[in-house]
Structures are given as structure tokens and as C-alpha cells.
Amino acid sequence: MTVHSFQEKFDEKIDREDTIEPRDWMPDDYRKTLIRQISQHAHSEIVGMLPEGNWITRAPSLRRKAVLLAKVQDEGGHGLYLYSAAETLGITRDEMLEQLHSGKAKYSSIFNYPTTTWADMGAIGWLVDGAAIMNQVPLCRTSYGPYARAMVRVCKEESFHQRQGFEIMLTLSNGTEEQKKMAQDALNRWWWPSIMMFGPPDAESPNSESSMRWRIKRFSNDELRQKFVDVTVEQTRILGLEIPDKDLKWNEERGHYDYGQIDWDEFWNVVKGNGPCNKERLETRKKAWEEGAWVREAALAHAGKRAERKAKSEAA
């Protein structure tokens, strides 16, 4: 078979909505795009544990602590499924982590903002996990099989995270005046970074065209951002809070909410490593990696001993 006929077969599979599996032929650029997106996604899950991890010891009750702990553990699990999915494309986990630690790989801009009050745990669950669900549910139908299958479980857990965040916001909004103010302040700080999470506008998104053609992405950055704004406005009403955007209004003709200008300079500044917490997040990840070296060594030694025992018992 020539490269041309491999390409034809691949294109037919994409058009038929079949999944591409690790042993299938795929164009180099498709493989590269997937490695880039899945590894960035995995890094986002792992770095995303840090802003909320800060509040585990300060949660206001045992119940809140248990729920937050479970949520942060879930994010760690998501990172592991995603690293495994990326490994099927021929990159090792060590290589991906090296790219994260050296600053070469990106992770979501949102995790470079500080979590200054307990209400931020509500705003993150509600808005950040809410935005993640909007982006990730379509990824359950992405064209690469291992990524699509990993996303099914990730999305189930993200839905629980979104609900727990909304419930924290609801409790605060129905609480004392001071608690309601905390909820509003968290919404004010997290709103714009949350809608930036969907990435640059379509016209300035260099990867979108090929990713849409390959059915890696099912909706464009702006389409997903619009869907998120539309559902979140309604949820904000239930909370009795106000979205910090004076230009936000229903557009009867479009059947969507119009929203104000996003500060893309701020977004690119954060993506380039100059956000409020970029340095701190990377330092914390690197420290955890170095301090965890003995665990990895012990696990490898244990796996080696087990393999040795198994080989001996099979030979006997």
C-alpha cells in the first residue's frame, strides 16, 4: 500500500466517524496534534489539583473537606488516564513530564490564578469545571479512540464537580450578607478567566481548522464559549448573583447572549508564563516530582521483584 492509499483509508474512516486506534496508520500531523492536545490536557488536570489542594486543610467542615479531597483526587486520576491515552501515540510519560517541567508544554491558563477565599472552591467547581464539561463532552466523540474513551469517565466525574461547586455557591449566596459578597467576589474574579479557557477566538486559533477536519475538535472555541455563556447566565440568576460584564445582554436575533470584549492580552500573557501564579505552579510541580522520586523507584523495584517471582514460578 502506498502512503496515498493509507491516507485515503484514514480519511474514509474519519468521514464514516469510525475511531482511529493506536495501531492504525495516521498522518504525522494528526499524531502530533493529538500528542500536543492530550498531553496539555493531562498537564491541566495535574496542575489543576494545586489551586484547590490549597484549601483542603482549610475547608469549613469535615463534609466539605471530604468532598474537596475526593474532587482533587479525581483530577489526578484524569491526568493519569490522559497520560496513558497519549502514551499510545508513541511518547513516554517521562517525556511529557519533562516538557511540562521545562516550561515547553502548555497547560490551561485558568490554573494560574490564585484561590484567595473559600468561595473560590465554589466558583472553580461551578465555572471552571462547568467550562471543562462544555469543552470535554464533545471530546467523548473525538476521532482518536483511546482519548474518546478516557473522556467518558472524565466527563462523568466533572459533572459531579460542577454540581458540588454550584452547591457551594448556592449555600454562600443564601447565607449571610458577608457570604453572599464572598460568592459575588469569586464570580467577579473567575468569570473572565473562565471564558478565556476555551482558547483564542476562532479567527486566531491556528490549530482549529485541521483539528475540526480530523474531528478531534467537534466545535470551535467560540461556539463552545457561547454555549457556556448562555447556560451560565441562567444559573447565575438562580444564585442571585451578577456576571461582571455590563455588555452582557440577550440578542433576540442571534438567539444567544452577547458578551463584552475579552482581554486577550491578559490571556496571552498568562499562556506565556506571566500570570499571577505560573511560576509558583511550576515550582510546586517540580518539587513534587523530585520529592516523589523514591516512590517511583520503590514501585519499579517492587514491580521487578514481582516479575522475577512470576518468572520463577512459571519456570518451576
Q: Tell me if 227 contacts ligand 3HC by CB under 6 A.
A: no
112 binding ligand 3HC? (CB under 6 A): no
How far is it, in rounded angstroms, from Cα 271 to Cα 267? 6
Distance of CA 208 to the CA centre of its chain: 17
Query: Nearest distance from residue 221's CB to ligand 3HC, in Å?
Result: 5
CB of 149 to ligand 3HC, least distance (A): 15
Check: CB of residue 76 under 8 Å from CB of residue 43.
no
- 205 interacts with ligand 3HC by CB under 6 A: yes
Q: Which residue has the cell 461582571?
A: 244
- Per the CB < 8 A criterion, the answer to whether 160 and 96 are in contact is no
3-state class (DSSP) for residue 116: coil
Question: Which amino acid would we find at residue 296?
Answer: R
Q: How many CB atoms lie within 10 A of CB 311?
A: 10
Least distance in angstroms from the C-beta of 266 to ligand 3HC: 12
Of the candidates 144, 145, 122, 147, which has an alpha carbon nearest to the alpha carbon of residue 136? 147
Report the candidate in 171, 162, 138, 157 with the shortest Cα–Cα distance to residue 241.
Answer: 171
Options 51, 146, 165, 199; binder of ligand 3HC; rule CB under 6 A: 199
The alpha-carbon radius of gyration of the chain (Å, integer) is: 21
Which span (162-170, 183-191, 206-214, 306-314) binds ligand 3HC, by CB under 6 A? Answer: 206-214
Which residue from 101, 106, 180, 218 is in contact with ligand 3HC, where contact means CB under 6 A?
Answer: 106
User: Is residue 197 close enough to count as binding ligand 3HC by CB under 6 A?
Assistant: yes
* Min dist. Cβ of residue 303 to ligand 3HC (A): 29
Toward ligand 3HC, which CB reaches closer, 110 or 119?
A: 110
> For ligand 3HC, how many residues bind (rule: CB under 6 A)?
28
Query: Is residue 80 a contact partner of residue 89, using CB atoms and an 8 Å limit?
Result: no
Name the residue type at position 265. Answer: D
44 is a site residue for ligand 3HC (CB under 6 A): yes
Choose, by CB under 6 A, the member of 51, 122, 200, 275 that binds ligand 3HC: 200
Taking the least distance from each CB to ligand 3HC, the nearer of 13 and 41 is: 41
Q: What residues between 49 and 88 interact with ligand 3HC by CB under 6 A?
A: 75
- Would you count residue 206 as binding ligand 3HC (CB under 6 A)? yes
**Cell, residue 156:** 462523568
| Cell numbers for 135 | 469543552
Residues that bind ligand 3HC in the complex, under the rule CB under 6 A: 36-37, 40-41, 44-45, 48, 75, 106, 108-109, 128-129, 132, 135-136, 197-200, 205-208, 211, 217, 221, 271
